Amino acid sequence: MLSVCALAASLAALTPDPERERVVRLMHAEAEHYGALSRQIWEYAELGYKEHRSAKLLRDQLQSAGFRITENVGGIPTAFVAEWGQGKPVTGIMGEFDALPGLSQEAVPERKPLVEGGAGHGCGHNLFGVAAAHAAIAVKRHLEEKGLAGTVRFFGTPAEEGGSGKVYMIRAGAFEGTDVVLTWHPGNRNSVNDASMLAIISGRFRFRGVPAHASSAPEAGRSALDAVLLMNHATEMLREHMPREARIHYVILNGGAAPNIVPDFAETYYYARHPQMAALDGLWDRILKCAGGAAMATETRLEHEVESSNYELLPNDALLKLLRRNLSFVGGVRYTAQEQAFAEKLAATLEPGRRAALGTQEELFFEEDRLTSSASSDVGDVSWNVPTAQFTAATWVPGTPAHSWQSAACSGMSIGRKGMIVAAKTLALSALDVFYDPNQVELARESFRQRKGGQEYRSRIPAAKAPPLDYRDKR
């Protein structure tokens, strides 16, 4: 990895403190405006590849600030790139804006859906995209005022939640020519660490059998449901013999129409994860054998397809150094009395083991112990193509898990918006450091080369597969 001396020496040429203070002051004055935008996207709560109003709101905001907009990237109506400036360095900032199914929630500390069964921002992407856009606009303003050379790009990336939108944008060449990419994610604390994430492959397994009357002619039938159950049972047996770091999850999407009809169609949906894509390939091959064996045993026909796949995150030491520096400069937040009351009520709904100290999110966490998060994201694919770094800002009450009604509630109120502004400021200052000292690009590239270790990127999503724009539709 890059030496501590080399990284420390590079900090001298970065954004001067008076300029950082001015950027932070100007962004703080705009907090209410961007907070209102995040609330709008929170209310839209649009699912992956369906984020038409959310994407338009962000595009319009960036275009009005002077960015050039490229829409429909990779054949995805909600994917876009906004760009300002010219020449090198080219610094990218990524934003997401898709919601999750079933997590509709009012901004209150008890379970209260806005729309029963509706979508909600349980991963805080309403904050994610707006903070990133705020940062990009602040960077553009500063570059313009100071006459600094370079290009800032905002990547509007849809369908992170299981749709692998960034993979299709990579295929379309959207990230080509970008020197570094900075991004963040909502969370329950302020953190910059060198944690990776799990690689993932997901796929659908469909079995086709022969229908028959289940009581009067069972011998004439070949049950597709039996095939699904047998595959799932075989996978359960596999758990004993797979790496302990691996994860397998599945659901049955279709198990037949009626008990007295031998099901001629059944479908199961799988996720498999591992800290390394190379090892995950072997596990996925074994899952395929479970499916093939089930089809053979039940005399059914198997169809399967990879739904999505994402690489593990490749941390970047040089860029993480910038994020630590600037998150320390920006600092965390303290709750008002009203926010404290909200936090106490919400914390009471969490599992006892998840409850944490309330009232402040001023503490910063800077771990450097090569952790691996249990989550997966298409940010990982970007990190294998461009030097990339990500951090977390405290937008939720301490202890709040992602993908919960509690995180959706926080994402729609002031606690979430406060954390969002911390993220926006940190992103903007870190991006400006690259413009003030373009040598940071080479430091980031060197870390990128070392972390890859000679491995090449190859998406496990079939090359001929089009973006699954309907993946959230019921089938």
* CA gap 388, 328 in Å, rounded: 19
Q: Is there a contact between 258 and 211 (Cβ–Cβ < 8 Å)?
A: no
* CA gap 459, 293 in Å, rounded: 26
Query: Would you state the pLDDT for residue 2?
Result: 42
- pLDDT tens digit string along 430-454? 999 999 999 999 999 999 999 999 9
* Structure-model confidence comparison of residues 3 and 417, the more confident one: 417
Fold of the domain spanning 4-196+312-452: Aminopeptidase (3.40.630)
- pLDDT tens digit string along 324-383? 999 999 999 999 999 999 999 999 999 887 666 776 777 778 766 556 778 899 999 999
* CA gap 168, 200 in Å, rounded: 16
Hey, what's the torsion of the CAs at 466, 174, 128, 123, to 10 degrees? Answer: 20
Query: Would you state the pLDDT for residue 371?
Result: 64
Phi first, then psi: give them for residue 160, nearest 5 degrees: -65, -35
* Structure-model confidence comparison of residues 355 and 227, the more confident one: 227
Which residue shows structure tokens 């870190």? 430
Nearest to 439 by CA among 313, 323, 322, 324: 322
Nearest to 420 by CA among 183, 41, 131, 37: 131
- pLDDT tens digit string along 23-34? 999 999 999 999
Query: Would you state the pLDDT for residue 405?
Result: 98
What mean pLDDT do residues 452-463 have?
95
Q: What is the pTM of this model?
A: 0.92
Query: Would you state the pLDDT for residue 91?
Result: 98
Phi-psi region of 196 (alpha: psi -120 to 50; beta: other; left: phi over 0): beta
Query: Would you state the pLDDT for residue 337?
Result: 94
Query: Would you state the pLDDT for residue 196?
Result: 92
DSSP letter string, 397-441:
-TTPPSSSHHHHHHHTSHHHHHHHHHHHHHHHHHHHHHHH-THHH
**Edge-first strand listing for the sheet containing 180-187:** 68-70, 80-86, 150-157, 90-96, 180-187, 388-394, 190-191, 364-365
Whether the CA torsion 184, 59, 312, 179 is positive or negative: it is: negative
Q: To 10 degrees, what angle do helices 414-436 and 125-146 make?
A: 40
* CA gap 64, 62 in Å, rounded: 5
Lowest pLDDT segment from 10-24, 47-61, 70-84, 240-254: 10-24
Residue 3 predicted with pLDDT over 50: no
Question: Residue 240, SS3?
Answer: helix
What mean pLDDT do residues 113-128 have?
97
The span from the first CA to the last CA of the chain, in angstroms, equals 47
Fold of the domain spanning 199-310: Alpha-Beta Plaits (3.30.70)
The average confidence (pLDDT) of the chain is: 94
Strands 265-274 and 80-86: unpaired
Query: Would you state the pLDDT for residue 364?
Result: 79
Q: To 10 degrees, what angle do helices 31-44 and 52-64 make?
A: 160
Query: Would you state the pLDDT for residue 475?
Result: 58
Q: What percent of the chain has pLDDT over 70?
A: 95
Segments making up each domain of the chain, as ranges: 4-196+312-452, 199-310
Residue 193 predicted with pLDDT over 50: yes
Q: Is there a contact between 49 and 471 (Cβ–Cβ < 8 Å)?
A: yes
Hey, what's the torsion of the CAs at 440, 446, 451, 457, to 10 degrees? Answer: 100
What mean pLDDT do residues 396-416 have?
97
